[in-house]
């Protein structure tokens, strides 16, 4: 798995024995820790690893964009045009269990509480219905359609 911005660690360690098989079970099992260092990343933000019972199942975290160009950037370059994006990706076998929702919610809370970030967005391809649903469930609203290097992309905005 690519860890381009990885510098932090999210451990969604599960305290119960056995494997999580139902959404209800996942909801009962809260992530037990959110920890890690942001050292080494010029933006001070990055990707958290999502673990399920010590197995890596994906990543969730932040990328900084420049709103003028909608290219990835850094705080010192984008200055007041900097926009943090909350994004996630899980291995295919882990989809459909609510893990993305759980992990993204944890990082979203961390952003607001510990990083003082007021406004987050998710940049989602118009045909990526799963991601749209996760964003919607976290309270995001579709704001605009932009062009990025990968084509038309919807900006879903979360407000605190």
8 A C-beta contact, residue 31 and residue 12:
yes
Closest approach of Cβ 15 to ligand COA, in Å? 20
152 burial type by CB count under 10 A (0-12 exposed, 13-18 middle, 19+ buried): exposed
With CB under 6 A as the contact rule, the residue among 128, 138, 142, 148 that binds ligand COA is 128
Closest approach of Cβ 76 to ligand COA, in Å? 25
Identity of the residue, 99 or 110, whose beta carbon is nearer to ligand COA in the bound complex: 99
The CA–CA distances, whole Å, from 141 to 22, 36, 119, 121, 131 equal 28, 30, 12, 9, 13
Give the three-class secondary structure for 67: coil
Given the rule CB under 6 A, which of 4-12, 40-48, 65-73, 131-139 is the region that contacts ligand COA? 131-139
Given the rule CB under 6 A, which of 7-15, 32-40, 61-69, 121-129 is the region that contacts ligand COA? 121-129
- State the Cα–Cα distance between residues 6 and 79, nearest whole angstrom: 22
Buried/exposed 18-43: b ≥16 CB within 10 Å, e otherwise: eebeeeeebeebebeebeeeeeebeb
Closest approach of Cβ 57 to ligand COA, in Å? 9
Given the rule CB under 6 A, which of 38-46, 48-56, 90-98, 108-116 is the region that contacts ligand COA? 90-98
Query: Rule CB under 6 A: is residue 88 a binding residue for ligand COA?
Result: yes
Report how many residues bind ligand COA under the rule CB under 6 A: 19
- Give the residues lining the site for ligand COA (CB under 6 A): 87-90, 95-101, 122, 124, 128-131, 133-134
């Amino acid at each position: 798995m690519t860890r381009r911005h990885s510098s932090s660690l999210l451990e969604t360690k599960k305290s119960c024995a056995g494997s999580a098989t139902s959404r209800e079970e996942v909801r009962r099992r809260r992530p037990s820790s959110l920890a890690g260092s942001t050292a080494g990343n010029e933006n001070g933000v990055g990707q958290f690893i999502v673990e399920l019972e010590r197995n890596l199942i994906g990543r969730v975290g932040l990328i900084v964009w420049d709103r003028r160009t909608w290219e990835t950037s850094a705080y010192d370059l984008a200055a007041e045009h900097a926009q943090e994006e909350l994004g996630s990706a899980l291995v295919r076998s882990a989809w459909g269990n609510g893990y993305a929702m759980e992990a993204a919610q944890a990082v979203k809370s961390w952003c607001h509480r510990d990083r003082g970030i007021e406004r987050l967005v998710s940049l989602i391809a118009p045909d990526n219905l799963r991601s749209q649903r996760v964003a919607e469930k976290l309270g995001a609203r579709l704001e605009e359609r932009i062009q990025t290097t990968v084509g038309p992309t919807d900006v879903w905005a979360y407000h605190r």
